[in-house]
Amino acid sequence: MARDWALFLHLTGVLLFVGGSIAVTALRLLAIGKERPSESATLLRAVRPLVPLVGTGLLLTLAAGVWLANELRVPYDSGWLQWTYALVVWLGVVGAIAGRLDRRTRELAEREAASGDRPSPELVRRLRDPLALTLDASMLVATVAIVALMVWKP
């Protein structure tokens, strides 16, 4: 019975974490193609309530995953678990950096929306910033890798 609850909570966490991560990425990418700053600002604002969802999902995934590993007697030092832990640390560090960059971009879009709502080269540059896009892509790859490690346990 405990194993079933651990698995249920683990999968619930995964769904929140992965679903939220995909939604955040989609909103961020959709904001790039908008003509008016107000449209980009609206999409970037929609990311904010998803961040706690992603964080809660990740924490639930980890907590229930540790519980499930204990129930299944999986050694905590298994290679696939160590890789998962490393990827989670990566997500935390990169997420903090990317989050700050995205917040500054959103704030710029909001300021420009309030002062005429005309496209600006600075907003376009920030929305297409290669560093921010690379960080976002790396988090998506890390998320997929975590799911792959969970499913295939190499």
13-51 per-position pLDDT tens digit: 999 999 999 999 999 999 998 999 999 999 999 999 999
Residues 46-61: what's their mean pLDDT? 95
pLDDT exceeds 80 at position 154: no
pLDDT one-digit tens code per residue, 67-124: 999 999 999 889 999 999 999 999 999 999 999 999 999 999 999 999 999 989 999 9
The full set of domain ranges for the chain reads: 2-152
pLDDT grade for 6, boundaries at 50, 70 and 90: very high
- The pLDDT of residue 125: 96
Better-scored residue on pLDDT, 153 or 126 = 126
State the Cα–Cα distance between residues 6 and 9, nearest whole angstrom: 5
CA distances to 64, 142, 143 from 129, rounded to whole Å, are 36, 20, 21
Please list, in sequence order, all residues whose beta carbon lies within 8 angstroms of the beta carbon of residue 149, skipping any fewer than 6 positions away.
80, 83, 84, 87
- Phi, psi of 74, rounded to the nearest 5 degrees: -85, 125
Question: 64 to each of 67, 83, 89, 140, how far by Cα in Å?
Answer: 5, 17, 17, 22
Residue 103 structure tokens: 């917040």
Whole-structure pTM value: 0.90
Task: Report the Cα–Cα distance between both ends of the chain, in Å, rounded.
Answer: 27
